[in-house]
Chains A and B, each alone.
Chain A
């Protein structure tokens, strides 16, 4: 039997995949899991979905995406990513809302990626499927869901309306060393001590040396 490769993905978030229990059935499926997860994880930071929503998404879309991939035998990463993004847009009102905020100024999903200033991943993922807009939007317009307004390309640009989601409305203003010193003072996390905080300050060159 061929060697079992435990897939390990490191992108914006880290994923650890446990070894499959049944190798023979698993290889194709973990491949899909891995791909789905990988794309989602790489997209997630800039469209502001946290790990909980991310795991929900993976659960929700994985079976459908897996079915689609199995039927088309399409393993082109750009197509897979397009399919995954399309499913995400269908399943996640939060992302729709975010896109809705950005949409007036934008013409294509690719531009959305740029506007979101994603790390290379999202830009790269979207790079090859300009046509996703054409394939996705008409379909969205036929639905009864609130999707029709998602990409309203003709309205006046107003990016001032874009607000971070509530879950990100905690802003740490201190630098990392100061924040760690405060954590140590409050004894909030084991392993973060005043010594560590001072060393971080030194590493970052933040302490003045008289």
Chain B
């Protein structure tokens, strides 16, 4: 491709290329091996003027694999058992995830973090909020009561988002 045609590309075309490249790198692009030919399938980047959902899903998955506790504490990623909401820095909703698989995987991650943190914290009676799990794997059901107790002890009993509030308080405590 010559320099001029590269220059004349619109921003949308540049973005399209970047999306396509991203999909090829991260999307496990399938190759169909027929006897005498190989077919490479790429999703079309834009469908009816919108980003192909296969690609946007991959981007969201990539982001969720990288989120930090900061993102949860700041409210940019809100995780509940029904959905995950992702917001930009101005608080505008960027995407909503309703995939059970993705929600479960995020809930597992955060539950393990909360479980570990709560097992290291002692309640008023001097015992840890949660018994340490042998391999650091906790189920949300096991830590839920401890979480409520912890928020009560921290005088945060009006919590509308247990996970977020607990992360904020635990982060403060460990800072």
Contact = CB atoms under 8 A, between A and B. Distances in A.
B51 A170 contact: no
A62 interface: yes
B122 interface: no
Interface string A1-43: 0000000000011111110111001100110010001000100
B154 interface: no
Nearest to B26: A189
Contacts, number: 156
Nearest to B28: A52
Nearest to B88: A182
B102 A170 contact: yes
A158 to B, nearest CB: 21
Interface stretch (A73-81, A92-100, A142-150, A190-198): A190-198
Given A14-B41, A179-B51, A185-B88, A166 B32 contact: no
Interface string A43-69: 001000011101100110010000000
Interface residues of A, number: 54
B109 interface: no
Interface of B is mostly: mixed
B96 A173 contact: yes
B57 A167 contact: yes
Given A58-B32, A170-B95, A182-B94, A17 B42 contact: no
Interface of A: 12-18, 20-22, 25-26, 29-30, 33, 37, 41, 45, 50-52, 54-55, 58-59, 62, 166-174, 176, 178-183, 185-186, 188-192, 196, 199-200, 202-203
**Which 9 residue pairs are nearest across A and B when measured between Cβ atoms?**
A191-B18, A199-B11, A55-B30, A26-B36, A169-B98, A170-B57, A169-B99, A174-B94, A172-B95
24 contacts: A15-B39, A16-B42, A17-B38, A17-B39, A22-B36, A29-B34, A30-B37, A33-B39, A37-B39, A55-B30, A55-B31, A169-B99, A169-B100, A170-B53, A170-B56, A174-B93, A178-B92, A179-B94, A182-B88, A189-B22, A190-B22, A191-B14, A199-B10, A203-B11
